[in-house]
Structures are given as C-alpha cells and as structure tokens.
Amino acid sequence: MNPIRRRRLLLILGLVAGIGAATGLALTALQENVNHFYSPSEVLAGGTPEGRTFRLGGVVLEGSTRRDGTSLKAHFVVTDRFKDLPVEYEGILPDLFKEGQSVIATGALQAGGVFVASEVLAKHDENYMPKEVAEAIAKGKAQKASQGSPTP
C-alpha cells in the first residue's frame, strides 16, 4: 500500500474513532441527566430509581396543603386519584399552584416515604394537564377496570 494512502487511511480511522468516542461520552452524560416522570402509583410500587432525582406528577389532593407559618416550607399530597404521595417543598410555590390542579415536582423520595421536592411546577391554565399525568390516570383507570370493582 502506498505510504500516502496508508497515512490517509489512518487519519480517517482516527477521526471516526474520535467522533465515535465523543458521541458515546455525550450520550452517556445526557442519559444520566434525564429525569423521568412517575405517577404516585408507580412511586409507591417501587418503580423509581433509588436515591436519584426524578419527576413526580399528578394532582394536588384537595384539603391537603399545609404551610409552615415560620418558614417557606409547604406540605401537600400529590395523587393520581388511585394512590397518594406526601410532598414536602421549601420555597415559594408557583402562583398557579392550588388544590385540585396538576403539578409536576422534581426531587427525591426520602426513607420515610415523603417526596422532598426541589422544584414545583403548576399547570398554566384550567384546561391543561401534563400528557404524562393524563396517561398515568388513564392507565390507572384501565387497570382498575380490568381488575373489576369489588361488590359491596
């Protein structure tokens, strides 16, 4: 093989290997930073990554919001209308936050079964429900229907 061709081939192979390595590293870094959405039913069933930050979505249960009078700490319950999960958040809640409305909270599940949120996002109008929340509620209804309702 001609030395010039050989050098060109080695250069091309080196570039392809470098681009492949850079792409692999970028994808690995992005995958570690992805926060998946979970409903309260999935969290309580153990479907969440242990010790990792994730997103919890659902509806704020009516009558569940309590605010600490001496700090910015708030306690409320997020539900998918099948399972409930208590949430603790320290900070200013969004202006649109209210009971009976959809929220997505980012945080981690603590050992006591309380979700400690670092960020809370509220819906933006009365017709909006996050796609994932609507799907989780529909999935829960389908599971409940397939199991059949108990007779009184």
Q: What is the pLDDT of residues 71-125, one digit of tens each?
A: 999 999 999 888 999 999 999 999 889 898 889 999 998 878 899 999 999 876 5
Superfamily of domain 37-147: Nucleic acid-binding proteins (2.40.50.140)
Give 51-69 as a 3 state SS string.
Answer: CCCEEEEEEECCCCCEECC
Local confidence band at 137 (pLDDT 50, 70, 90 cut-offs): confident
Count of CB atoms situated within 10 Å of the CB of 41: 21
Where do the structural domains in the chain lie, given as residue ranges? 1-34, 37-147
C-beta separation of 94 from 122 below 8 A: yes
- Name all contacts of 64-71 with Cβ < 8 Å and 24+ positions apart: 64/99, 65/99
Q: What is the pLDDT of residues 12-28, one digit of tens each?
A: 999 999 999 999 888 88
Rg (CA), the chain: 23
Q: What is the pLDDT of residues 44-79, one digit of tens each?
A: 888 776 678 888 989 999 999 999 889 999 999 999
Question: CB burial class (10 A; 0-12, 13-18, 19+) of residue 105?
Answer: buried
For residues 119 and 50, give the distance between their C-alpha atoms in angstroms, rounded to a whole number.
19
For residues 64 and 79, give the distance between their C-alpha atoms in angstroms, rounded to a whole number.
10
For residues 100 and 85, give the distance between their C-alpha atoms in angstroms, rounded to a whole number.
14
C-beta separation of 124 from 95 below 8 A: no
C-beta separation of 82 from 43 below 8 A: no
Residue 29: the pLDDT is 77
